[in-house]
Amino acid sequence: MNELTGSAAVGGLDYTRLMGTKKSSTRDDRSILEVRINLGRVRRLRQILVALLGTYSALFILNIWTSGPEVLLVLAVTICVLMLAWIPLKQHEPATAANIIIAVTAVSLALIMWQGSGLRSSAMFSYPGLLIFCLMVGNQRLFIVSYVGVLIYMVFLVYATHQGWRTGSEQPSSWLTLLEFLVIISAITLLIRLLAGDLFNLLQRLEADRLQARSSHRKAEHMAMHDKLTGLPNRRSAKPLINEAVLASRKSGGSAALVFIDIDDFKAINDTHGHNAGDTVLRTISERIVTRLRKIDTLIRFAGDEFLLLLPHIDQRDEISGLLNRLCEYINEPMEIEGIELTVAVSMGVVVVPDDGTDFNALVAEADRAMYRAKAAGKNQYRFAESR
């Protein structure tokens, strides 16, 4: 049998807005996802920035009575520079804001350790959090640079203490103590990297599965609304498309035409030349009609050898007649199918919206009756509804 259901979009009436296409919807999905991810990062960085500003402000207050002016100066400068990160965040540039936050935090921690207790400073506990933050913003290079920078600074801090370049509040650390800290920091860094890597991989797989499921769902919807053989919108699509044309004509005060098309003697073609030849005729007829339509027009495969042609924004009967005359001439041109030359004709019935009605079922039934009057008059022609 000639196939009745299928895929691919053809025709007008802004059909892509109604049904969409697989490729464009996939690109849209990814674009929307990127926008959402960017907005999520901006929102999260704002929260982190508020938390950091609050933390440094609290430290500044607590150190007023316990620390020297050097520490207070470092904390004050850190707070001021961190405020600059608000600028790229307002411009939705999370990468720039993240770089500012990481750089300022790293420098302030280093200065606090330098002026405070060195390796035994409580600031040491902040470095794992800094490394986690680097991974959170998705910057692998920054993560590695931060890790290496921490190790180098720890070595330099102990060396500077032994050389007398700094006089911290702690007892000088031995090189063995330094080695212990290096091992601990490296182990924590490796653990962070492994856990973060597993988390990111899981999130990527979940997102890929979600996109695949959504793509499959849209593909199934697309196939359900299209004809497999011709790629045209199918019978299921007819009602929403025609109802939208009716609504548009009401709003604009204009008219639209609905044409019921039936291939003359199609059963004889199937019986004589086989169903493969019949399928080729259906494809060829639909292609010929579509190439002669305006961009806003829509051709629908309504049944086996029946089509509905929707012509929105067409007010003059002469304009409709001219288009249908051209279609008949083009369809009548000989076609070669499996080495056999065939001449195929169609009969058409025409109704005009809103003159002949606005109800979908009534319009199709009236166009069908007009089409049968065209067949009765000798086929290969069209007739308007009797109300015209």
- Tell me: pLDDT of 183 over 50: yes
Q: Which of 35-39, 143-147, 176-180 has the lowest mean pLDDT?
A: 176-180
**Tokens coding 62:** 């607590």
As to burial, measured by CB atoms within 10 angstroms (0-12 exposed, 13-18 middle, 19+ buried), residue 53 is middle
Which amino acid would we find at residue 234? N
| 53-57, 182-186, 217-221: which is most confident | 53-57
| 8-22, 215-229, 310-324: which is most confident | 310-324
Chain centroid to CA 72: 49
- Tell me: pLDDT of 311 over 90: yes
Name all domains of the chain by residue range, CATH numbers in brackets.
17-216 (no CATH), 230-384 (3.30.70.270)
Average pLDDT score over the chain: 80
- Tell me: pLDDT of 27 over 70: no
- Tell me: pLDDT of 75 over 60: yes
Which amino acid would we find at residue 256? A
pLDDT of residue 195: 59
pLDDT of residue 172: 58
181-204 per-residue burial string, b: 16 or more CB within 10 A, e: under 16:
bbeebeeebeebbeebeeeeeeee
218, 222, 225, 226: CA torsion to nearest 10: -170
Chain centroid to CA 257: 35
**Single pTM value for the model:** 0.53
Across-strand partners of 308? Answer: 260, 300
A 10 A CB-CB count for 152 gives 10
- Tell me: pLDDT of 59 over 50: yes
pLDDT of residue 55: 80
Give percent of the chain above pLDDT 90. 25
**In which order are the strands placed within the sheet that holds 298-301?**
298-301, 306-311, 256-263, 346-353, 382-384
- Tell me: pLDDT of 1 over 60: no
pLDDT band at 263 (very low <50, low <70, confident <90, very high): very high
- How many Å apart are CA 182 and CA 213, to the nearest integer? 46
pLDDT of residue 344: 92
- Tell me: pLDDT of 232 over 70: yes
- Tell me: pLDDT of 218 over 70: yes
For 341-362, the pLDDT digits (tens) are 889 999 999 999 888 888 999 9
Chain centroid to CA 198: 26
Question: Taking phi first (over 0 means left), then psi (-120 to 50 degrees means alpha), and beta for anything else, what does residue 336 get?
Answer: beta
Across-strand partners of 151? Answer: none
For 115-154, the pLDDT digits (tens) are 777 777 767 777 777 777 777 776 678 778 888 888 888 8
Give the residue, 82 or 2, on which the prediction is more confident.
82
Give the residue, 86 or 14, on which the prediction is more confident.
86
